[in-house]
Amino acid sequence: MSLPAAFLDRDGTLIEDVDYLTSVEKIRILPGAVEAVRLLNAARVPAIVVTNQAGIARGFLNERKLFTVHEAFLARFAAQGAHLAGVYYCPHHPEHGEPPYRRSCACRKPQPGLILSAARDFDLDVGASMMAGDSPRDAGAGRAAGCGAVYAIGAPPGAIDPDCRGAYEAARKAPDLLAAVREWLAGR
């Protein structure tokens, strides 16, 4: 039997967006993020991170360094009693870097590839799931994957990519991840 899940963006949703996180020392968990993940854990809803990491394509870090950053990121949440079930990332960019990282792909948000891969791996019901993120690309990925609830976190961005405008405008708005998770769980 498929389960619902919470697909969560990393930068700007769970941790501060520092514009290409390349070191463990720069990880700063956002207020309410740990409590939001704990609420999902208590409701037996897998919390899965889906994140674009074009810093790899751009040469700011390699996949080994990203793995180290993600290990520390997961450990910091776990140390506070918040379990993140997995991290799915896209290392690609359509215009920057060298092959194999410079390419268009199905995993770079707003494409749904990361969500769909996690759904297959964990046997998840995407239609009963939520996607939460601070970018119109996150809303686009959630909508493209067929998530039942899509949340735009935080202040509205400036210019919105036309490909994501409809998804962003249709997304439920929440000031932070904790508010989004509380609303979604209350409505299930």
Q: How far apart are CA 31 and CA 81, in angstroms?
A: 15
Q: How far apart are CA 150 and CA 19, in angstroms?
A: 23
11 is catalytic: yes
Instruction: List C-alpha distances in Å: 48 to 82, 101, 148, 157.
Output: 12, 23, 16, 24
Backbone angles phi, psi at 124, to 5 degrees: -105, 150
176 is catalytic: no
Q: What angle do CA 176, 182, 184 make, to 5 degrees?
A: 100
- Catalytic annotation, pick one of 11, 134, 138, 176: 11
Residue 167 burial (C-beta neighbours within 10 Å; 0-12, 13-18, 19+) = buried
CB 85 within 8 A of CB 40: no
Strand partners, 51: 89
Amino acid present at 22: T
Active site residues: 9, 11
